[in-house]
Amino acid sequence: MARAFDVHPIDATFGAVITGVKLASIDDATLRMLHEAWLQYALLVFPAQSLSRAEQIAFAKRFGPLELELSVLSNIKPDGTLRIESSDDDAVKIMKGNMIWHADSTYMPVQAKGAVFSAEIVPSAGGETEWADMRAAYEALDATTRSKVDALSAYHSLHYSQSKLGHVKREGSEYHGYGLHDGPAPLRPLVKAHPETGRKSLNIGRHAYGIPGMEFEESERFLDKLAADACRPPRVYAHRWTSGDTVIWDNRCLMHRAMPWNMAEPRRMVHSRIAGDPASESAPVA
């Protein structure tokens, strides 16, 4: 059956721009084709969709139950003023943390399946989102390193990653604390097989730490080098947002990060997180 939309592969090891479809009104047959494209490309970019928030939630739910229906990521305060880059603003610390390579909810008992992300307000420069292909990164490893990572795991913690930025959960914080705790952390293999494609990928990023069997500093150096080597061309793509753009990515095989922008300008993004399947995305908590 011919596709009901046009696919324009991105100049990277992953990703495609999809045109000729309106996400607010797709039928089941088109959804199945989009799902196939999603598994192939891992990142689908849909320009000029201008989804309402309710439409975004409805679209995300067609890929599975949601872990988070809608999270607003913005430097705009509820009163309309802008946050400044203050070391005392916990919401800014979360945004700063999001500027480091990561996958979503690896610090939760069940890792997220994917996410739908839309731009409502964008700055005149900066504020791009970058993604990195952890499938191609794993496949690019030399045989010795690949054999090594196949046998290793790491703990994942948002408390750990945010504490490196001077951010810990505190009373009265504007940040609601999702995942921000200093309790038991899930232990995840550094290599995972995709539950739908079977393709292996690295599962690393800023939340990962403390590889069992390694000294802490050795673990830090090893994980940092893995991420630095992984997140290089042709395995990366940076999307320059236009208001109304929507993307969906596969959190099971991509990492992502936000890029800095001048916080004297407003930026507002909306995020719907697709829950992972406990059968494939669970991790033991130690």
Torsion angles phi and psi, residue 262, rounded to 5: -75, 110
> What ranges in the chain are assigned the alpha helix state H?
28-41, 53-61, 90-97, 134-140, 143-150, 158-163, 216-230, 278-281
Residue from 131, 122, 125 nearest 254 by CA? 131
Q: For residue 257, what is the domain's CATH number? A: 3.60.130.10
Per the document, the length of the chain is 286
| Structure tokens, 76 | 């705009």
- Indicate whether 86 belongs to any domain: yes
> In angstroms, how far is CA 52 from the centroid of its own chain?
21
The pLDDT value given to residue 121 = 98
- Indicate whether 133 belongs to any domain: yes
| Structure tokens, 38 | 């999603």
Collapse the DSSP code of 153 into the 3-class scheme (helix H, G, I; strand E, B; otherwise coil) and give the result. Answer: strand
The pLDDT value given to residue 177 = 58
Rounded CA-CA distance 133/250 in Å is: 10
Rounded CA-CA distance 187/30 in Å is: 37
Number of domains composing the chain: 1
User: Mean pLDDT by 10-residue block, N- to C-terminus, for the chain (286 residues)?
Assistant: 86 98 96 97 98 98 97 94 81 91 96 98 98 98 97 95 78 60 88 98 98 97 98 98 98 98 96 97 86
Residue for token pair 């890792």: 111
- Indicate whether 1 belongs to any domain: no
- Indicate whether 284 belongs to any domain: no
The pLDDT value given to residue 37 = 97
- Indicate whether 160 belongs to any domain: yes
- Indicate whether 147 belongs to any domain: yes
Strands 16-19 vs 43-46: parallel, antiparallel or unpaired = parallel
Please report the sign of the dihedral spanned by the C-alpha atoms of residue 36, residue 39, residue 45, residue 50: positive
The pLDDT value given to residue 286 = 65
The pLDDT value given to residue 203 = 98
User: How far are the Cα atoms of 28, 45, 243 from residue 5, in angstroms, in the given order?
Assistant: 14, 12, 21
- Indicate whether 260 belongs to any domain: yes
| Structure tokens, 73 | 């990521």
Structural domain for 253, as ranges: 6-276
Q: What is the pTM of this model?
A: 0.94
Collapse the DSSP code of 148 into the 3-class scheme (helix H, G, I; strand E, B; otherwise coil) and give the result. Answer: helix
- Indicate whether 286 belongs to any domain: no
